[in-house]
């Protein structure tokens, strides 16, 4: 439904999960015209982990709100600003008693979970005499002053917290990868210090050999180029590369048929390219590095294709991108 798309332009990593629960607008595509099409994914869409520490709570609240007819109708008509500003949260006062009771229980469970996290942290540093209620203030996705009732303030805080956190999610991932690289290199150098001169030279030689081996891989197509998408069309979809059609490709890989390619659906397109470079069986291939490269590929394609910067690629945006010179000739990027 429309409200889900609006909300998830900001909470983008939840989009796959949210859209599967509602009846999507039918897409006009006759897949029988393309021979031997195999499903790209199973019909069952797994709920993605947003990486937020309140991920499960967020999903459960949305699930419960969907069951209220009045709130659902309001959400269908809401725009982005109504959702972000908190005006929509006021509609919570009109939901059914049954829904409010479920939301109250979810909040109590979440507060209990947070208190357990605080206790575990305090126990680990052997700190006592701390005010647990005061420590709850550090969590900004719920109103800690009323731990037993889910109110409009809670919905407002949850939406704003998720919006802010998810908008910075990619930046956080990049920063974590940089720290990972630095730590890996630091540990390697510290290990070399423990070795004799002879052993150290052997390890350095092995390290350089592994780097060369990692760099020796098949040609990697430019992400989002025609060559790259045609390879997916042929090897993943099992279709004749001579029949490549951008519109059909889009609809095949719009796994949840919501009319958009979201960030997870885009990242799935790069698997074949990444498999050319990274193999979990090879010592020289770092799987953490592979996921960082997947993120960079997705960011590059989004920057080129997502013209309105809403973190979703429409069919129109996708088709316009395939008309660009860069799509046919990646060297012009």
| pLDDT band at residue 29 under the 50/70/90 scheme | very low
Tokens 């630095």 locate to 182
pTM for the model = 0.60
Q: How far is CA 218 from CA 149, 195, 215, 244, in A?
A: 58, 35, 9, 22
Domain ranges, ordered by start, for the chain: 54-161, 209-328
Residue 229 CA to residue 231 CA, distance in Å, equals 5
pLDDT average, residue stretch 38-47 = 42
Number of other CB atoms surrounding residue 95 within 10 Å: 22
Structure tokens given for 254: 């719009």
Tokens 């690289």 locate to 181
Handedness of CA 141, 146, 149, 154 (dihedral sign): negative
Question: So what's the pLDDT on residue 26?
Answer: 37
Tokens 């990619």 locate to 170
pLDDT at 46 over 60: no
Question: So what's the pLDDT on residue 133?
Answer: 57
Residue 112 CA to residue 110 CA, distance in Å, equals 5
For domain 209-328, which CATH number applies: 3.90.1150.10, 1.10.238.10, 3.40.640.10, 1.20.1260.10? 1.10.238.10
pLDDT at 55 over 50: yes
pLDDT tens by residue, 219-237: 999 999 999 999 999 999 9
pLDDT at 30 over 60: no
User: Which residues contact residue 66 at a Cβ distance below 8 angstroms, ignoring those fewer than 6 apart?
Assistant: 21, 22, 72
pLDDT average, residue stretch 265-275 = 93
Question: So what's the pLDDT on residue 84?
Answer: 65
Q: Which of 10, 9, 6, 17 is nearest to 165 (CA)?
A: 10
Residue 10 CA to residue 159 CA, distance in Å, equals 9
């Amino acid at each position: 439904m429309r409200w889900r798309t609006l909300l998830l332009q900001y909470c983008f990593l939840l989009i796959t999960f949210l859209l599967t629960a509602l009846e999507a607008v039918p897409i006009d595509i006759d897949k029988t015209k393309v021979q031997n099409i195999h499903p790209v994914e199973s019909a069952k869409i797994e709920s993605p982990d947003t990486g937020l520490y309140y991920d499960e709570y967020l999903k459960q609240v949305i699930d419960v709100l969907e069951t209220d007819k009045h709130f659902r109708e309001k959400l269908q008509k809401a725009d982005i600003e109504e959702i972000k500003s908190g005006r929509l949260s006021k509609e919570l006062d009109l939901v059914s008693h049954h829904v409010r009771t479920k939301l109250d229980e979810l909040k109590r469970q979440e507060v209990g979970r947070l208190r357990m996290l605080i206790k575990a942290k305090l126990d680990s540093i052997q700190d006592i005499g701390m005010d647990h209620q005061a420590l709850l203030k550090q969590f900004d996705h719920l109103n800690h002053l009323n731990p037993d009732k889910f109110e409009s303030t809670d919905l407002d805080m949850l939406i704003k917290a998720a919006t802010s956190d998810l908008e910075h999610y990619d930046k956080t991932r990049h920063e974590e990868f940089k720290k990972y690289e630095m730590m890996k290199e630091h540990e390697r150098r510290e290990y070399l210090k423990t070795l004799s001169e002879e052993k150290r030279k052997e390890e350095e030689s092995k390290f350089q050999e592994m780097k060369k081996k990692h760099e020796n891989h098949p040609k990697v197509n430019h992400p989002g180029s025609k060559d790259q998408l045609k390879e997916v069309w042929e090897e993943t979809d099992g279709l004749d590369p001579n029949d490549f059609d951008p519109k059909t490709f889009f609809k095949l890989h719009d796994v949840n048929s919501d009319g958009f390619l979201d960030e997870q659906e885009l990242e799935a397109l790069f698997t074949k390219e990444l498999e050319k470079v990274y193999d979990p069986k090879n010592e020289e291939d770092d799987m953490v590095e592979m996921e960082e490269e997947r993120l960079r590929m997705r960011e590059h394609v989004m920057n080129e294709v997502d013209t309105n910067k809403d973190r979703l690629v429409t069919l129109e945006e996708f088709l316009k991108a395939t008309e660009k010179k860069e799509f046919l000739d990646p060297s012009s990027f």
